[in-house]
A = this chain, B = another copy of it.
Amino acid sequence: MTEQYKVFEKELSGTKQGNPYQDIWLKAVFQNNAEETEVNGFYCGDGRYKVRFMPTRPGTWKAVTKSNDPMLDRIELVCECMSAREGNHGRVLRRDEVFAPCDLSEEDRFHFSYEDGTRFQPFGTTCYAWINQPETVQEQTLQTLKNSCFNKVRMCIFPKFYTYNTENPSCYAFEGNEEEGFDFSRFNPVFWEKLEKRIRQLDELGIQADIILLHPYDKWGFARMGRETDAFYLKYAVDRLCHYKNVWWSMANEFDLLPWKSVEDWEFYARTVMCRDCYGHLRSIHNCIQMYDHNRPWITHASIQRVDIYKTAESVTEWRKTYHKPIVVDECAYEGNINYGWGNITGEEMTRRFWEGCIRGGYLSHGEVYVQHEQIWWAHGGRLHGTCPERIAFLKEIMEDVPDGAAPLRLTPDNHLDNWDVPCLCKEDDNSYFLYYFGFFKPAFRTYKLAKGCAYTIELIDTWNMTINKLPGIYAGDIRIDLPERQYMAVRMKKVN
């Protein structure tokens, strides 16, 4: 019995002659009443093949395989599927993929939802090479993630070669090793099984695996395989991994640091992934300096590295206007003390960037780079040492409490006229909710003209000290709110009538 949105898997035996990775194809079309899904099976060494399938609704799904290997052809498969258990909400998609057009507002295009309709707000972190660390470190990483608020991890398939990242991993996506070279025509099933185990474990923790398919930090040759081998690899990766509901596809980290791959290459790679992914997982591509054109139709959400070292999450407002898609600032610099400018901001500044981006209707990813530790979270995983993760957890709670349909204030309305300098998340249709964030400003007070006929409770939120102070009484009309002259304050107003 397979649970809805989980993976049905059937192992089959076929040829081990020649190079089955290249020579053999295997398909199965799963049917449940009128619905059908065609999946690609894959070779996993030693004459073993697998067909995987993620049923999206309960019931009996039946398939008959097709293959150019007679041993794999015309095999009947049956997947009995039970309803999703509590906490299993299926894939994360864009809200406008989940809801009917009549149920959507203009704001929904900027947000995500699980396929069962549950809201999903990504609060990601970054552990690029965590699956390439020693097993004990990987276990530690999972433990840390379990105790954190993070619900998405950016992670690479290929290992990372860069400062603080010079060790070879125990195995690779392809057969071979650095000393003897790699066989770019044969995959290493041991590696893929380890990877899949980690993806499953993340799923059990409710964490999305934002899988980075290609990246530039390389000494082994994985960044320069050429178009044909890239496509061969991408197909295999998707055939194996797309059945996990928590997978997102990041075509590349810092695609622009791979200048030998053209935009046409990336577009071809994206089509390749889409053709093989029968579930339509979320797709994006991440920049270093040069932004990719996130208006391309295949891109479901903009995965952005800030392109200005001073103005980062504030640009969510502009990027929303430019791309009309969910904005995920997957790198807005990291908390830490590394020598490079991308990884030595304070916890205060990192937390501030998260708030700025969220209030503006975007999403942020965390990262941490304290170089005095043996493992540095951003690449190795391990333990967290920074000051911002608990503040991000606090923010996440605040954001979970924001009513559906709340959006960044579009223009300063008359009744909030003096607040041109402060971003606000609010429900403008019924004036029921306002969340102002003051960032590094530290006013002694603020004045508001509250909407006519509305009365509000008001809370002062200290986003750094993580306190919520509900002011006594109910507020209406023209009001003045005294503030503590500290940075990082927010004001939340909720309508009571």
Assess whether A340 is in contact with B418, with CB atoms less than 8 Å apart: yes
Identify the closest chain B residue to A481 (Cβ).
B339
Assess whether A444 is in contact with B371, with CB atoms less than 8 Å apart: yes
Assess whether A339 is in contact with B446, with CB atoms less than 8 Å apart: yes
- A183 CB–B CB distance under 8 Å: no
A 300-339 contacts with B by CB, 8 A: 308-311, 314, 337-339
Tell me the complex Cα distance, A422–B342, Å. 11
A 404-449 contacts with B by CB, 8 A: 418, 420-422, 440-447
Tell me the complex Cα distance, A249–B408, Å. 41
Q: How many residues of A contact B (CB 8 A)?
A: 31
Given contacts A311-B310, A314-B310, A346-B487, contact A337 B371 (CB under 8 A): no
**A445 to chain B: which residues have CB within 8 Å?**
339
Tell me the complex Cα distance, A372–B443, Å. 12
**A340 to chain B: which residues have CB within 8 Å?**
418, 421, 443
A 441-461 contacts with B by CB, 8 A: 441-447
- A485 CB–B CB distance under 8 Å: yes
A 273-311 contacts with B by CB, 8 A: 308-311
Given contacts A310-B311, A314-B310, A421-B309, contact A485 B443 (CB under 8 A): no
Assess whether A443 is in contact with B310, with CB atoms less than 8 Å apart: no
Assess whether A444 is in contact with B308, with CB atoms less than 8 Å apart: no
CB distance from A217 to the nearest CB of B (A): 16
- A37 CB–B CB distance under 8 Å: no
Tell me the complex Cα distance, A310–B310, Å. 7
- A258 CB–B CB distance under 8 Å: no
Among A311, A340, A420, A441, chain B packs the most CB atoms within 10 A around the CB of A441
**A117 to chain B: which residues have CB within 8 Å?**
none
Assess whether B443 is in contact with A344, with CB atoms less than 8 Å apart: yes
- A403 CB–B CB distance under 8 Å: no
Assess whether B442 is in contact with A339, with CB atoms less than 8 Å apart: no
- A349 CB–B CB distance under 8 Å: yes
Tell me the complex Cα distance, A314–B314, Å. 15
Please, what's the 1-or-0 string for A335-368, where 1 marks a CB less than 8 Å from any CB in chain B? 0011111101110010000000000000000000
Assess whether B372 is in contact with A339, with CB atoms less than 8 Å apart: no
Assess whether A337 is in contact with B442, with CB atoms less than 8 Å apart: yes
**A446 to chain B: which residues have CB within 8 Å?**
339
**A485 to chain B: which residues have CB within 8 Å?**
337
Tell me the complex Cα distance, A327–B76, Å. 76
Assess whether B342 is in contact with A443, with CB atoms less than 8 Å apart: no
Among A308, A346, A444, A487, chain B packs the most CB atoms within 10 A around the CB of A444
Assess whether B418 is in contact with A339, with CB atoms less than 8 Å apart: yes
Tell me the complex Cα distance, A349–B487, Å. 11
Assess whether B339 is in contact with A447, with CB atoms less than 8 Å apart: yes
Partner of A308, one of B311, B346, B420, B422: B311
Assess whether B444 is in contact with A342, with CB atoms less than 8 Å apart: no
CB distance from A450 to the nearest CB of B (A): 16
**A308 to chain B: which residues have CB within 8 Å?**
311
Tell me the complex Cα distance, A311–B443, Å. 19
Tell me the complex Cα distance, A346–B349, Å. 14
Tell me the complex Cα distance, A341–B444, Å. 11
Assess whether A344 is in contact with B442, with CB atoms less than 8 Å apart: yes
Tell me the complex Cα distance, A337–B487, Å. 11
Tell me the complex Cα distance, A257–B441, Å. 24
CB distance from A333 to the nearest CB of B (A): 9
Identify the closest chain B residue to A444 (Cβ).
B337
Among A308, A340, A372, chain B packs the most CB atoms within 10 A around the CB of A340
Identify the closest chain B residue to A309 (Cβ).
B421
**A420 to chain B: which residues have CB within 8 Å?**
341
Identify the closest chain B residue to A420 (Cβ).
B341
CB distance from A339 to the nearest CB of B (A): 5
**A346 to chain B: which residues have CB within 8 Å?**
440, 442, 487
Q: List 30 A-B contacts (CB under 8 A).
A: A309-B421, A310-B310, A310-B311, A311-B311, A337-B442, A337-B444, A337-B485, A339-B418, A339-B443, A339-B444, A339-B445, A339-B446, A339-B447, A340-B443, A341-B420, A341-B421, A341-B422, A341-B441, A344-B441, A344-B442, A344-B443, A344-B444, A345-B440, A345-B441, A345-B442, A346-B440, A346-B442, A346-B487, A349-B440, A372-B444
Known: A340-B443, A344-B442. 10 other contacts (CB 8 A): A309-B421, A337-B443, A339-B443, A339-B445, A339-B447, A340-B418, A340-B421, A341-B422, A341-B441, A345-B441
